[in-house]
């Protein structure tokens, strides 16, 4: 984008610095909370690639993180594998494979069909983990041990140590940000942006949009898998609820709340949602009422998220470049083109 | 469905054989014998038996009854999308609201019929309020915002329900007139109320079809489902049409929740459960198609029922496996593009 | 509800936290002002199991009131956390109580999956924990720990005795049905173990998804299979629905219905005649004729306006157990070793009858056989005397 | 006669019961500007859509440089050198003019999974995009957001983006639609310039423009080809005069 200042990357750097320094001052409980935020932020960033950059609204993203989590738990509990690289490869591989299959079916559709099909396929994955006894059933399973990185008999990283985990998660956040930043600037990311703005024209310029969408699905799935891996290690627990569509909807909210298509937005959104939930939950048992009202309010008055709000308040020009809520969805556009074609006939 | 999948029946001592022989000495030998023969010939699992056949008949009735309920919910979902272009994730929440209203009103008024008569208008009214306050702002916005808005709505409706009626599971008594069962064999019978559900849903479906086929409103619905701009061109009041369609959808969902309450009991998660299955129905049938919703609902109703008993432990997956099959075959559903 | 722990107590909480840190750094001053104990109640206060959470809480408080609201001389303060019976949130909720609220004792919970996750955190943090309901076998088997106690039952324990009962009643071929979740599988598993060992045969096992309560398809199948009897585990609304549907399907009286006591507890009024004749086994029965039970039931009714049930008993006994332990160490929660030793060897006078704990900290208790007759739960015998969970895999 | 670059054989397209295009067999010569004329509803845009791959034909085949491309999707045809512009402006309004063109230029990159190097570091993309922008006369507006351009400039950009894909054959659907006289003149000049090293197939209603640039003309009526040939031949055709031009002359 033209003349866009480096405000967002700088904001991200400041956030990461804050997170890195937080354990020096923060109470143990809040350090745990921040770790949760970091993992959720990675999850939301991975979805941002689809929603914010490519314009693909999906409601089955938890299927990928959940798959990674379950594969990790199974390998640790049933095979006794705690080797960090091996677990990561397996978890991400499984998540990527799930994304490839679900993506292959889904990218043939768009708009509302895409939402419905990803929701339905995501629930299929949910039932797979819920019903097949091997995975531990409806109540979920606890992780018997935490992964560790050893080399020549020396333990370099032991994720059972909360502080080690904290900084590993933070490093992953930075890594994922850097990766997505790079991808978004590369020709690949430019095509994704083209697909979001005008899919038909992108195709007419010679880009195989299906293939790009599928690749975006797989990349997003892999990164969601990383988030799922970190989450199961963080909480030491995985259950079908982690794969449920409510989880997918929640991470979508995180993306919108922060501001989609910005990469920093998901971090801010994750922090806002986790802290808000904690606050509401302390206030009343009916905290979901307030979360629900909050979500509705965001949709109606804050469509460009907190980043957009900050932009508006700070009169920062780039905020206007964020995606407009009024933008037509791909479906209605497609329908229009079809009608035009027929109308001329 | 898949009779061969049934494994653990012992052919030698199926009760059915006994039933046939035991009855034969009675008066109407020939008819019983021929009936037995008829059932024997279609004996579903390689074993022979009347009981088994009767049980299959009952399972089909169960599946169809569930299918009818699904149809009422899914048709509203697909109508609201086809005509208004809105994804309503909160559709299931209105099903749940209907069920809780049935519980509450039938306790207050003492009459289930009265509860339905009062409850449906209340739900529709609630739906219209939501439509006016929220949905009107969303018609021209990306589906993304519709998804999030209606997800927020699910949370809000769910918590309001918790505040009003708590989180307990409630039973709703079957109205005395419809309680009791039709005895089919020594141990097998079919509850009258379930027949009533099927009949009531069928009636609602017929009325819906008649409205869409013959009335001016139906003409508008058909027109706008094909081409939304056309309605505006024809000078019809789109605003009012949207209200009517949304109200109709909510009314159907709430009505389904109400008549389902006595058999499925009333619990907080019911809206979510029916929503997901309805989505599957809509996806299988083809988004926006009423016919698709009907056949999709029947397919899922039967698959779910037979999956539950034939593949205990993997019943939940049957529905989704079916969906995956249909999508692999027809990515836009069975009745896509009308 | 949750506002119990806001306001004044929030400030006390901070003060407590300050004292707590100071106390752990220095040797505990013996002359300190009245000792205080902070108890974290991690129970469902919303959702399907809310009523159970409240009864456990009130049973606990009732017992506490009998001690003048002091345990071993120490004042008691409660912090409540609603666990929503949500396993994914269990670890965060437990951590919140232990780390943020800095409770001394953790009491919870109802849902087995939540309890397992909670116990894992408790093991990591080494905090004294009492499980007042969740029957997951694993809690006193693989997950057993010196600091984890259970005053309720193991799922195995509540069901194992019924196998012999049904065989004695002459039933050989049975159909099993329960929700498809860990508790359901363990309940049916405990039953199957003794039933098949005694020569019984399981014709078919149905596992509908939790908490689905549309049973028609399964009942149709049962009617066609015509087993000698049906063994079912459901609870709460699901149990009520199952009992009513079972009768409506015309099976009542034709195919006898058995199950663990949760099948009929709390649903008799709602079920009416449909529950007639159902036989269940449990470590408690309302009608138990011992003086403590009579006294407990009337006191509970007076205090809460509700009828006591097995959950209230378990809450009540949890307080008894903690009281015995703290009495032995003079209310000093820091004296972990003495406290745990005293609790392990305690004998609890319970409304269910006197019991003590096994080496894995699970009650060794009688399991009663009950039957619904004329709308009342009647104790018709003892299904198992001093039943002890095998504690397979407990290494503590 | 020069080498045909594109040929159609019995090309038909039905929408439901409606035959939008029926049995169109045409040959487009390389390096020639070929205009398709016809009243509204004659099937012109549908024909372009069939040629570009936006629609697939119900019957018939399309040959490009002797190769059957009937089954090829849009993007694959672009890679072979077929570019198109749309009747209704179809651009990326949020992006700058240069970025619009870059997206077109990128199509010719070898491979598609270019994830690492920033797009702005691909020299050849930038050059190609700038060349296209210069060719369509928008050099000065390179940094402006496409949505802020005037209508005429948008039409120029529409062509520029297509040029950036490096086409040999351009399918132009009413490039002059909705333009003022001055703007039209600019675009006609552009088309003349393009005609020197591209094959152009265009639909246009502006007869003066058509006659000033087209070498060959096809007249379509009701989905079928009425007449095809040189400008003079078509002008002289009695059938065309009767069916189409005649009406205008009468008016």
**Minimal Cβ distance to C113: which of A239, A242, A284:** A239
**Minimal Cβ distance to B283: which of A57, A117, A256:** A117
pLDDT digits (tens, 9 = 90+) for C334-351: 899 999 999 999 999 999
Instruction: List the chains bordering chain A where 3 or more Cβ pairs fall under 8 Å.
Output: B, C, D
The model's confidence at residue D170, banded by pLDDT at 50, 70 and 90, is very high
The model's confidence at residue D244, banded by pLDDT at 50, 70 and 90, is low
The model's confidence at residue A2, banded by pLDDT at 50, 70 and 90, is very low
pLDDT digits (tens, 9 = 90+) for B130-161: 999 888 888 888 888 888 899 999 999 999 99
Kindly indicate whether the ipTM for this predicted assembly is greater than 0.90, answering yes or no: no
Among D15, D43, D75, most A C-beta atoms within 10 A, so best to mutate, is D75
Chains D and A make contact, 3+ CB pairs within 8 Å:
yes
The model's confidence at residue D251, banded by pLDDT at 50, 70 and 90, is very low
**Minimal Cβ distance to A207: which of D20, D52, D107:** D107
pLDDT at position D18 over 50 = yes
pLDDT digits (tens, 9 = 90+) for A80-92: 999 999 999 999 9
Minimal CA separation from C257 to chain B, in Å: 14
The model's confidence at residue B239, banded by pLDDT at 50, 70 and 90, is confident
Average pLDDT of span C365-385: 95
Query: Tokens 């329900």 correspond to what residue?
Result: B161
pLDDT at position B189 over 70 = yes
At the top level of CATH, the class of B49-329 is mainly alpha
Minimal CA separation from D184 to chain A, in Å: 23
Q: Pick from C69, C35, C62, C46: which is nearest to C301 by CA?
A: C62
pLDDT digits (tens, 9 = 90+) for C36-75: 899 999 999 877 788 889 999 999 999 999 999 999 889 9
pLDDT digits (tens, 9 = 90+) for A49-82: 999 999 999 999 999 999 999 999 999 999 999 9
- Domain coordinates in residue numbering, chain B: 49-329
pLDDT at position C4 over 70 = no
Q: Is B176 on the interface with C (CB under 8 A)?
A: no
Q: Is A302 on the interface with B (CB under 8 A)?
A: no
Size of interface A-B (CB pairs under 8 A): 134
pLDDT of residue A314: 61
The model's confidence at residue A229, banded by pLDDT at 50, 70 and 90, is very high
**Minimal Cβ distance to C221: which of B55, B170, B189:** B55
Query: Tokens 């809206």 correspond to what residue?
Result: B271
Average pLDDT of span D68-83: 92
The model's confidence at residue A168, banded by pLDDT at 50, 70 and 90, is very high
Q: Pick from B164, B162, B70, B31: which is nearest to B108 by CA?
A: B164
pLDDT of residue B6: 35
CA–CA separation, B55 vs B44, rounded Å?
10
pLDDT of residue B230: 64
Average pLDDT of span A158-164: 90
Please state, rounded to an integer, the average pLDDT across all residues of chain A. 86
**Minimal Cβ distance to A299: which of B149, B156, B320:** B149
- Domain coordinates in residue numbering, chain A: 7-244
Average pLDDT of span B264-285: 88
pLDDT at position B48 over 70 = no
Average pLDDT of span C305-309: 92
**In contact, C346 and C324? CB cutoff 8 Å:** yes
The model's confidence at residue A286, banded by pLDDT at 50, 70 and 90, is confident
- C14 versus D176: the higher-pLDDT residue is D176
The model's confidence at residue A147, banded by pLDDT at 50, 70 and 90, is very high
Architecture of domain D1-81+168-251: 3-Layer(aba) Sandwich (3.40)
- Domain coordinates in residue numbering, chain D: 1-81+168-251, 92-166
Minimal CA separation from A145 to chain C, in Å: 11
Minimal CA separation from A87 to chain C, in Å: 21
Average pLDDT of span A238-265: 91
The model's confidence at residue B5, banded by pLDDT at 50, 70 and 90, is very low
pLDDT at position C16 over 50 = no
Q: Poorest-confidence range of C136-140, D38-42, D67-71, D188-192?
A: D38-42
- B172 versus B259: the higher-pLDDT residue is B259
pLDDT digits (tens, 9 = 90+) for C183-195: 899 999 999 999 9
Q: Poorest-confidence range of A190-194, C92-96, D208-212?
A: D208-212
**In contact, C261 and C158? CB cutoff 8 Å:** yes
CA–CA separation, A148 vs B250, rounded Å?
53
The CA–CA distances, whole Å, from B325 to A117, A245, B277, B331, D71 equal 13, 21, 16, 10, 26
pLDDT at position A322 over 50 = no
C-beta atoms of D46 and A186 within 8 A = no
Q: Which residues contact B23 (CB under 8 A, 6 or more apart)?
A: B32
Instruction: List the chains bordering chain B where 3 or more Cβ pairs fall under 8 Å.
Output: A, C
pLDDT of residue A29: 85
pLDDT digits (tens, 9 = 90+) for B65-104: 999 999 999 999 998 888 888 889 999 999 999 999 999 9
**In contact, C239 and C208? CB cutoff 8 Å:** no
Can you give the length of chain A in residues?
345
**Minimal Cβ distance to B168: which of C51, C241, C251:** C51
C-beta atoms of D112 and A208 within 8 A = yes
Q: Quick one: how far is CA A224 from the chain centroid?
A: 6
Q: Using the 8-state DSSP alphabet, how is residue A103 labeled? A: H
Domains of chain C: 2-153+289-361 (3.40.50.2300), 156-282+368-387 (3.40.50.2300)
Phi (first) and psi of residue B32, to 5 degrees: -60, -45
Q: How are strands ordered across the β-sheet holding D216-221?
A: D82-85, D169-173, D199-203, D33-37, D216-221, D224-230
**In contact, C164 and C193? CB cutoff 8 Å:** no
Which residue in B has a C-alpha nearest to residue C214's C-alpha? B264
**Minimal Cβ distance to C91: which of A28, A236, A283:** A236
Please state, rounded to an integer, the average pLDDT across all residues of chain D. 87
pLDDT of residue B337: 59
Average pLDDT of span D73-79: 92
pLDDT at position A308 over 90 = no
CA–CA separation, C149 vs B265, rounded Å?
36
pLDDT of residue A5: 59
pLDDT at position D43 over 90 = no
Helices B91-109, B270-285: inter-axial angle, 10-degree rounding: 130
pLDDT of residue C233: 95
CA–CA separation, D48 vs B252, rounded Å?
46
pLDDT at position B36 over 50 = no
C-beta atoms of B265 and C213 within 8 A = yes
CB proximity under 8 Å: A 225-254 to C = 235-237, 239, 241-242
Chains C and B make contact, 3+ CB pairs within 8 Å:
yes
pLDDT of residue D249: 47
Minimal CA separation from A287 to chain D, in Å: 39
Minimal CA separation from D1 to chain A, in Å: 31
Minimal CA separation from A142 to chain C, in Å: 7
Q: What's the whole-model pTM score?
A: 0.84
Contacts of B162 in chain C (CB under 8 A): 46
pLDDT at position C24 over 60 = no
pLDDT of residue C113: 86
C-beta atoms of A239 and C209 within 8 A = no
Among A140, A228, A279, A286, most C C-beta atoms within 10 A, so best to mutate, is A140
pLDDT at position A334 over 50 = no
Instruction: List the chains bordering chain D where 3 or more Cβ pairs fall under 8 Å.
Output: A
Three-state secondary-structure class, residue D226: strand
Chains B and A make contact, 3+ CB pairs within 8 Å:
yes
> Which of A10-24, B141-155, C148-162 has the largest mean confidence?
C148-162
Q: Which H/E stretch holds residue D68?
A: strand D67-68
Query: Tokens 């009505």 correspond to what residue?
Result: B255
CA–CA separation, C240 vs B171, rounded Å?
8
Chains B and D make contact, 3+ CB pairs within 8 Å:
no
Average pLDDT of span D76-103: 92
pLDDT at position C227 over 80 = yes
Chains D and C make contact, 3+ CB pairs within 8 Å:
no
């Amino acid at each position: 984008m033209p003349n866009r200042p480096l405000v967002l990357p700088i904001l991200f750097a400041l956030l990461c610095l804050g997170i890195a320094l937080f354990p020096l001052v923060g109470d143990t409980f809040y350090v745990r909370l921040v770790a949760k935020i970091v993992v959720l932020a990675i999850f939301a960033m991975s979805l941002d690639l689809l929603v914010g950059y490519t314009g693909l609204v999906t409601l089955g993203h938890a299927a990928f993180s959940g798959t990674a989590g379950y594969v990790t738990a199974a390998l640790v509990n049933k095979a006794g594998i705690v080797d960090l690289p091996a677990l990561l490869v397996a978890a991400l591989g499984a998540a990527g494979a799930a994304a490839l299959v679900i993506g292959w079916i889904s990218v043939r559709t768009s708009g509302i069909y895409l939402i419905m099909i990803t929701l339905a396929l995501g629930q299929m994955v949910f039932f797979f983990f819920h019903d097949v006894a091997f995975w531990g059933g409806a109540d979920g399973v606890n992780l018997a041990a935490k992964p560790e990185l050893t080399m020549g008999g020396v333990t370099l990283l032991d994720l059972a140590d909360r502080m080690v985990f904290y900084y590993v998660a933070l490093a992953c956040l930075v890594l994922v940000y850097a990766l997505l930043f790079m991808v978004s600037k590369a020709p690949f990311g430019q095509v994704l942006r083209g697909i979001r703005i005008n899919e038909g024209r992108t195709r007419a310029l010679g880009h195989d949009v299906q293939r790009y969408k599928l690749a975006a699905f797989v990349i997003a799935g892999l990164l969601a898998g990383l988030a799922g891996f970190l989450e199961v290690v963080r909480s030491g627990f995985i259950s079908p609820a982690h794969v449920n569509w409510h989880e997918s909807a929640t991470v979508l909210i995180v993306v919108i709340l922060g501001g989609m298509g910005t990469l920093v937005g998901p971090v801010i959104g994750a922090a806002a949602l986790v802290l808000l939930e904690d606050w509401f939950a302390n206030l009343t048992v009916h905290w979901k009422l307030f979360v629900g009202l909050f979500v509705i309010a965001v949709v109606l008055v804050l469509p460009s998220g907190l980043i957009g709000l900050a932009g508006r308040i700070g009169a920062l020009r780039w905020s206007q470049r964020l995606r407009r809520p009024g933008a037509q969805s791909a479906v209605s556009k497609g329908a229009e083109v079809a009608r035009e074609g027929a109308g001329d006939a | 469905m898949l009779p061969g999948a049934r494994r653990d029946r012992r052919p030698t001592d199926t009760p059915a054989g006994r039933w046939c022989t035991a009855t034969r000495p009675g008066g109407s030998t020939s008819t019983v014998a021929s009936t037995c023969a008829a059932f024997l010939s279609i004996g579903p699992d390689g074993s022979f038996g009347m009981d088994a056949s009767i049980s299959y008949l009952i399972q089909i009735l169960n599946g169809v009854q569930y299918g009818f309920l699904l149809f009422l919910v899914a048709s509203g979902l697909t109508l609201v999308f086809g005509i208004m272009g809105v994804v309503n994730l909160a559709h299931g929440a209105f099903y749940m609201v209907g069920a809780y209203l049935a519980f509450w009103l039938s306790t207050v008024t003492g009459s289930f019929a009265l509860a339905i008569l009062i409850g449906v208008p209340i739900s529709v009214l609630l739906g219209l309020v939501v439509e006016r306050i929220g949905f009107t702002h969303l018609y021209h916005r990306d589906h993304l915002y519709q998804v999030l808005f209606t997800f927020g709505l699910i949370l809000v409706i769910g918590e309001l329900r918790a505040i009003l009626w708590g989180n307990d599971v409630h039973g709703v008594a079957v109205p005395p007139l419809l309680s009791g069962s039709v005895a089919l064999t020594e141990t097998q019978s079919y509850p009258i109320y379930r027949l009533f559900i099927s009949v009531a849903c069928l009636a609602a479906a017929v009325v819906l079809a008649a409205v869409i086929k013959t009335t001016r409103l139906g003409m508008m619905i058909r027109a706008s489902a094909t081409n939304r701009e056309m309605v505006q061109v024809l000078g019809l009041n789109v605003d009012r049409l949207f209200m009517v369609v949304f109200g109709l959808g909510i009314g159907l969902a709430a009505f389904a929740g109400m008549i389902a309450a006595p058999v499925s009991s009333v619990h907080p998660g019911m809206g979510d459960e029916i929503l997901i299955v309805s989505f599957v129905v809509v996806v299988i049938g083809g988004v926006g198609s009423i016919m698709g919703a009907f056949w999709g609902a029947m397919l899922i109703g039967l698959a779910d029922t037979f999956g539950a008993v034939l593949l205990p432990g993997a019943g939940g997956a049957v529905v989704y496996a079916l969906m995956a099959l249909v999508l692999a075959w027809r990515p836009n559903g069975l009745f896509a593009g009308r | 509800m949750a506002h119990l722990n806001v306001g004044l107590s929030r400030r006390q909480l901070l003060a407590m936290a300050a004292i707590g840190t100071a106390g752990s750094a220095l040797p505990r001053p013996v002359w300190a002002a009245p000792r205080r104990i902070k108890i974290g109640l991690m129970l469902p206060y919303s959702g399907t199991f809310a009523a159970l959470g409240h009864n456990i809480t009130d049973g606990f408080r009732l017992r506490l009131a009998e001690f003048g609201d002091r345990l071993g001389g120490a004042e008691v303060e409660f912090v409540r956390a609603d666990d929503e019976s949500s396993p994914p949130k269990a670890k965060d909720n437990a951590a919140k109580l232990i780390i943020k609220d800095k409770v001394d004792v953790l009491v919870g919970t109802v849902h087995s999956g939540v309890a397992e996750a909670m116990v894992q955190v408790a093991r990591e943090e080494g905090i004294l924990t009492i499980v007042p309901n969740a029957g997951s076998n694993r809690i006193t088997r693989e997950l057993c720990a010196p600091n984890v106690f259970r005053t309720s039952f193991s799922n195995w324990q509540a069901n194992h005795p019924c196998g012999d009962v049904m065989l004695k009643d002459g039933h050989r071929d049975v159909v099993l049905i329960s929700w498809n979740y860990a508790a359901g599988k363990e309940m049916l598993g405990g039953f199957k173990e003794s039933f098949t060992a005694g020569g019984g045969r399981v014709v078919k096992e149905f596992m509908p998804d939790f908490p689905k309560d549309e049973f028609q398809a399964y009942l149709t199948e049962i009617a066609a299979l015509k087993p000698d009897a049906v063994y079912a585990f459901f609870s709460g609304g699901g149990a009520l629905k199952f009992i009513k549907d079972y009768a409506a399907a015309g099976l009542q009286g034709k195919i006898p219905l058995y199950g663990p006591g949760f099948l009929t507890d709390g649903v008799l009024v709602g079920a009416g005649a449909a529950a007639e004749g159902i036989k269940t086994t449990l470590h408690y029965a309302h009608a138990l004729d011992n003086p403590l039970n009579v006294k407990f039931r009337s006191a509970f009714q007076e205090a809460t306006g509700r009828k006591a049930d097995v959950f209230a008993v378990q809450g009540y006994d949890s307080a008894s157990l903690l009281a015995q332990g703290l009495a032995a160490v003079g209310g000093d929660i820091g004296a972990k070793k003495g406290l745990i030793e005293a609790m392990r060897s305690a004998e609890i006078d319970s409304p269910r009858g006197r019991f003590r704990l096994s080496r894995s900290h699970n009650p060794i208790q009688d399991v009663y056989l009950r039957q619904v007759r004329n709308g009342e739960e009647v104790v018709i015998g003892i299904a198992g005397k001093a039943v002890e969970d095998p504690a397979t895999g407990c290494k503590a | 006669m020069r080498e045909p670059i594109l040929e159609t054989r019995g090309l038909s397209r039905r929408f439901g019961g409606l035959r939008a295009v029926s049995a169109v067999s045409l040959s487009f010569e390389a390096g020639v500007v070929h205009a398709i004329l016809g009243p509204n509803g004659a099937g012109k845009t549908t024909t372009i859509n069939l040629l570009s791959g936006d629609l697939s034909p119900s019957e018939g085949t399309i040959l490009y440089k002797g190769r059957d491309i009937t089954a090829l999707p849009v993007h694959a045809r672009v890679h072979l050198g077929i570019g198109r512009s749309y009747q209704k402006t179809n651009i990326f309004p949020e992006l700058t003019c240069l970025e619009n063109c870059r997206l077109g230029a990128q199509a010719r990159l070898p491979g598609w999974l270019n994830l690492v190097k920033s797009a702005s570091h691909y020299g050849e993309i930038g050059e190609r995009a700038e060349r296209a922008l210069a060719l369509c006369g928008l050099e000065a507006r390179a940094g402006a957001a496409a949505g802020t351009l005037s209508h005429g400039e948008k039409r120029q950009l529409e062509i520029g983006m297509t040029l950036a894909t490096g086409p040999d054959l351009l399918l132009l659907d009413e490039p002059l639609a909705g333009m003022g006289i001055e703007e039209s003149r600019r675009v006609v000049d552009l088309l003349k310039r393009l005609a020197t090293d591209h094959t152009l197939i265009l639909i246009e209603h502006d007869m003066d423009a058509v006659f000033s640039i087209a070498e060959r003309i096809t007249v379509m009526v009701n989905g079928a080809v009425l007449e095809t040939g040189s400008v003079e031949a078509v002008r002289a055709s009695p059938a065309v005069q009767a069916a189409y031009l005649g009406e205008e002359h009468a008016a």
